[in-house]
Amino acid sequence: MSFLKEIEEKHRNLAVETSMPDWIEPMLATLTSKRFSDENWIYERKLDGERCLAFKKKDEVKLLSRNRKDISDTYPEIVEALKKQRTENFIVDGEIVAFQGENTSFTILQERIGIKNREEALKSKIKVYYYIFDLIYIENYLIDKLPLILRKKLLKKYLDYQDPLRYTEHIWKEGVKYYQEACRKGWEGVIAKRMDSEYQHKRSTDWLKFKCVNQQEFIIIGYTPPKGSRIGLGAILIGYYEDKQLKYAGKVGTGFNRTILTQLVKELNSLKEDKPQITGEIGEKNVTWVKPEIVVEVGFTEWTKTGKLRHPRLVGLRRDKDPKTVVKETPEA
């Protein structure tokens, strides 16, 4: 394979010749309150979309979400673009996004996430793009032990980038300046990555999240009846896991549109149960309790002293996250 000839022998020995795996556990970033500039780190734009691992084996392409769901039929234009790549076999990691103006919008992407039929997806007016930021496997070699900066160099060289495929650019050293710029532009934030880091198949402090906004996943545990002109439901009650126990995080009543409301009500009606799975008093009346199986993305201003969200708003539904893995995101010291 020609790429081996282009890298130093010490790195060449880290590439493992093996058949292509059916699945790669994705590397996840750790939330931090620190903001820093460091010549040993690179900085990428944090994108607000759906995480996606793409597997290409000759003429076959499969897109898998981070909880291993096949999403190929939801994004057929991305599948076709990857099929045309001159490199025959690879596994790449990236984020599928839709835009509202110049910023990525998970809310806009919702209209594609809900589509499971390939033909219907191709007719959708919602344009999507696949921002690829890492290369894990190429031809017959697993390269997750290679330094990140080298993996990105190979990624840029051995794939062709035309819409809907886009290479995720990065800057070097100027982390604080880039973060400040990101927040001015209304981005979700920045991902800081250690240049020499391996691709670890877990959450790691070698990748860090500098968030401009507070936003994370929660689990729906119940809902209240609608008021006024609202259809289906009034608000959702949400929670997260802590030491394998469900904790209550508050009530969300804004951010819904008719499409999300209709979809949510249909799914929630099939998950009704008599008692909440959260222990302790919640203090809400007329609640319909549901099994904790639906994950949502929620934005908020801050956590209160009582452990609830202040000014929460629904951003969208998450299909790429296992409810059991939803925990309170607390910045590393």
Residues belonging to the active site: 46
- Residue type for 298, please? V
Distance CA 67, CA 61 (A): 18
Q: Return the closest-CA partner of residue 126 out of 95, 165, 100, 93.
A: 100
3-state SS, residue 8: coil
CA distance 303 to 249: 9
Type of residue found at 332: E
Q: How many residues does this entry show for the chain?
A: 333
Distance CA(37)–CA(40), nearest Å, equals 9
Cβ-contact 191, 207 below 8 angstroms: yes
Strand 28-31, strand 203-211: pairing: parallel
Q: Are 64 and 25 in contact (CB under 8 A)?
A: no
φ, ψ of residue 180 in degrees (nearest 5): -60, -40
Q: Which residue intervals of the chain are DSSP H helices?
A: 2-5, 9-12, 76-83, 106-113, 118-123, 148-158, 175-184, 258-269
Task: Give the integer Cα–Cα distance in Å for 260 and 316.
Answer: 8
Q: Tokens for 229, please give them.
A: 């002109």
Up-side HSE of residue 236: CA atoms within 13 Å toward CB?
31
- Contact at 8 Å (CB) between 11 and 312? no
Give first-to-last CA distance, the chain, whole Å: 43
Please tell me the distance from the alpha carbon of residue 144 to that of residue 325, in angstroms, as a whole number.
Answer: 24
Q: How, if at all, do strands 16-17 and 141-142 pair?
A: antiparallel
